[in-house]
Structure 1
Amino acid sequence: MDFQLRFDPLTSSDAEQIRQLAMRAQEADGTQPLNDQTLVNLASDDTDITHIVARTVAQSPNGDATAPTIVGYAQVDRRQPTISGELVVDPATRRQGVGRALLRSAIRDATLPSRSGEPGQHAGLHIWSHAGHPGAAALASSENLVPVREICLMTRPLGDIAADSVTDVINDFRPELVVSTLDPARDNDKWLTLNAAAFQHHPEQGGWTLADLEERQRTDWFNADDCYVVSSADNPDELVASLWLKLQPQTPLTGEIYVVAVHPAAQGRGLGKKLTYLALAHMRAHGQQTAELWTDTTNEAAVAVYRQAGFDIATTQIQYARTSTTQP
């Protein structure tokens, strides 16, 4: 199969084709190949984000060329100290060199400057394999990439009708803490301050800007009533914790604990556990039958909290990079 790689900004049509491609890959592999931030970035023309598109020209039976078709996509994001990337290949065109071409281009692009005259980066690309596909591991190994990080999907059923209600769980926070649903106009700036503090060692999450937050709040699944913020009763202007649930209309029986944030100064008070049970009560009240969440496998404290709440590891995703011993 003949294809070409292009590094142009995406049109709205390109972005929609890539979303459809990602959906086909998800149906084939059972997991989302591009994370939410990557999907948000499809609309970005930031020079710190590179869009690499693999296109083929389909041939009609009489040999005439038809419209180009997007068969693969890679994205490189240089906005954080760790340069991250993701790629996806259409299931119908795998094992034809598209993935390798995208990966090699992404690795090279990560070393280049965003703007003419600036120095390039030398930290190297960190790229995710979300499906855990053996082919992805083999491709990474062939390019001298090794696993450097692992996150896991944890799930649990929600069939316990005797569990506490939302009101019961919120009462457990009182009287020292006040729990309310998110008001974006009131809380967005405070939420970002909390998020940056809670995830200061994870820039992919802690580096969110107001634009990143508002972009997610424009998605079809966002509902402010599915988000909770926690403040001290004696200091309502600062958040000590928050909970964000992702209840998608496409998967009405499954709810995701999307973001749990606890300020470092408030850790050790059991807030992570209380927020987890608040999430379960909320999802149960809204008819979800299964709860899921993603967490870093090295975050032993979080994994322990979630196991105690009935979650088990369902699958893992691996981030690859070149290290000092694997540089070509």
Structure 2
Amino acid sequence: MKILNTLQYKQFGGLEKLSILLCNELCKEHEIYFLSDLAIKDYLSKDINFINFNFNKNRYNPFFLKKTANMIDEISPDILQTHNIKELQILNYARKFSKQKPPIVNTKHSLERKKYLNLADLVVGVSSGVCETIQVDKKILIENGYPFITPKKLSRPHKFYITFANRICDAKGVTLLIEALNLVKFDYECHFFGYGDSKIYEEKVKNLGLQDKIKFKGFVKNIGDYLYSCDLNVMPSLNEAFGLSSLDGVFYAPLMIATRRGICETIMPNELIIEENPQFIAHKLDEIHANYDKFVQIFAPIKAKKDEFSVAKMAQKYINAYENLIKDFKK
């Protein structure tokens, strides 16, 4: 199968990671073309046909759309895969100029209600919560998958070692976790990993006198190694459609606690769920520190299910969806 995947690159987050993981898996057995910004190219398999494409151009410009249509005709894909509304609009409008009119699949990664989803021939929701926001008839659920990479033990702080691995912003609970850490009763060191402007949070940490305990490490490619080396990973998200970062925790951390958001709502037991207030989280952290082995055992059955979220299973579900859609188009 020949698949044309598009990705309007803004910053490296869960959507970008998912698109790359999916295509890197699909290219093992299928011909993949990937339209995006050059910033993405180094993350892609060498077997993927990368095309530098500027999605910031006017989506209503007929010359741009005709040029895009000519590119589609030259590639002659069986399916068009998009990941946001602007990509979907561009390919749908360009398809009107195209000699070939392959079906479009759009994957919805957010909980926000979106217009124009009806332009897609099939909409994929990455979680049951996301599917509830998709108001079109032709939709399916395909939960995100993740590849497991054997982790390595790293040198780590000698204190109780806590990690946060997600985008650095309030929507992911950064302020919430900092305020909770200010209330705990044991000695620890917490490292925040991820993209985002950490300056405002570093100032808050300094004002609380926690600069020796809380450190911002930025984005790292080997986050699995750090999670594997920690005592506890915390996912205090206030907004999460699915949460690929949650799978990082499941795959690699010895123990994780999380808010009832995204995939954590369905896979995490109540003992490992945290409420969205600092006092509750601080109390849970104190409880875990005092009864660590007990909570590791509670988390163990969750870790044992990691194969359910393999990227190979996710990719096969996409292929099945593509094949069924293509059959419908040929009727």
Query: Which has the larger helix fraction?
Result: 2
Q: TM-score, normalised by structure 2?
A: 0.32
Query: Which has the larger strand fraction?
Result: 1
Higher RCO (CA 8 Å, separation ≥ 6 residues): 1
